[in-house]
Amino acid sequence: MEEPQHRIRAAHSESTITVYQAYSPEIGMPAVRAGRFPAAWKRDRMTWIKPSFLWMMYRCGWGAKEGQEVVLAVEIQRDGFEWALRHACLSGYARGVHPDRAAWQRQLKRAPTRVQWDPERDLRLQPLPYRSLQLGLSGEAARRYADEWTVAIRDVTPLAREIHARVGSGDLDSAARLLPQERPYPAGDELLTRLGG
């Protein structure tokens, strides 16, 4: 079956969804130990969460980029994730989604969350012809994410390095078997259409 152009793909259960972020050890390790974001985590700035593991690997270079050495799997409540989607605005103007550019700019100023659709990645981190969600959280959304929605935080840096090593040695089949099991997230067609999907 052909992949739709826009789809949220994620590891999820009945009550939670897993998203990924990468941080410096000064933020990442205390978050893992406490199972929540430390006070040093800035709740007043925008933070981007990614349900796609491979898109996160592309962004952080398998945990090798400076300031992104600790890759976190953050399990959050689905209720919170869906609140963020309902209160989101596309990060860029899209004809047919917004009445006009001015209406989009007004919505963007008010929205605590932003949606961006970026090319999904394969194991070699090459772009695929369909897109996955990135969700930017600011203000109320960032605070709720850190202090209310987060259920668990795991360090998946060793997993990222193991998958990367297998890709590097050309063993794509065993690398693929280690990937988190992501499947379509049931966001609903109406919501996805409103978010440019």
Per-residue confidence at 98, pLDDT binned at 50, 70, 90?
confident
Name residue 186's amino acid. Answer: P
Which pLDDT value is given to residue 197?
Answer: 62
Mean pLDDT of 55-79: 97
Structural tokens at position 120 = 């999904």
Per-residue confidence at 1, pLDDT binned at 50, 70, 90?
low
Which pLDDT value is given to residue 66?
Answer: 96
* 4-22 as b/e: b if 16+ CB within 10 A: eebbbbbbbeeebbbbbbb
For the cut 70, the answer to whether the pLDDT of residue 57 exceeds it is yes
